[in-house]
Structure 1
């Protein structure tokens, strides 16, 4: 089972990431950033709207994609 999970994951910055979740988050963040940029009025507003769209995409990604890590603490003190 663990071998199958590693086949679906790729290593990014010394951490394993599920390919499907990575692509989903990239699509969501890209769409919200570009959408904010496109709907912004002229001037310096496109930068601000694009950054707000990126933050909004991050929030949506954290809601859609749940963490898959499981931590267990052990007491190794002697």
Structure 2
């Protein structure tokens, strides 16, 4: 059984929908998790913690979700 992966184009790049959804969920969980542990009386720390969570979520996604593209370089031979 040959299953084709569903791909979608976002910002000029083609990505697999499953990987995109996983990356979004990881980023949301890490961002909101760090935001939730920030002191509730300090808006600056809440923003800072949320940004740290977003960077951590991006890093986790970049490490565990590998690119699916294949790059082929062809040389043009002129006669």
Q: TM-score range, shorter-chain basis?
A: 0.7 to 0.9
Structure 2's unaligned 5+ residue stretches are: none
C-alpha RMSD over aligned residues: 1.8
Residue 36 of structure 2 is aligned with which of 35, 38, 43? Answer: 38
Moved over 6 A (4+): none
Q: Distance in 2 between matches of 1:77 and 1:49?
A: 54
Aligned length: 75
Q: Which structure has the highest helix share of the two? A: 1
Given the alignment of the two structures, is residue 25 of structure 1 paired with residue 23 of structure 2, yes or no? yes
Aligned partner of 2:8 among 7, 10, 17? 10
2:4 is paired with a residue whose SS is helix
1:4, 1:36 → 2: CA distance? 37
Q: TM-score, normalised by structure 2?
A: 0.82
Question: What TM-score comes out, normalization by structure 1 length?
Answer: 0.83
- Structure of greater Rg: 2
Any idea what the Cα deviations from partners look like across 1:54-75, whole Å, max 9, x if unmatched? 0000000011101111112222
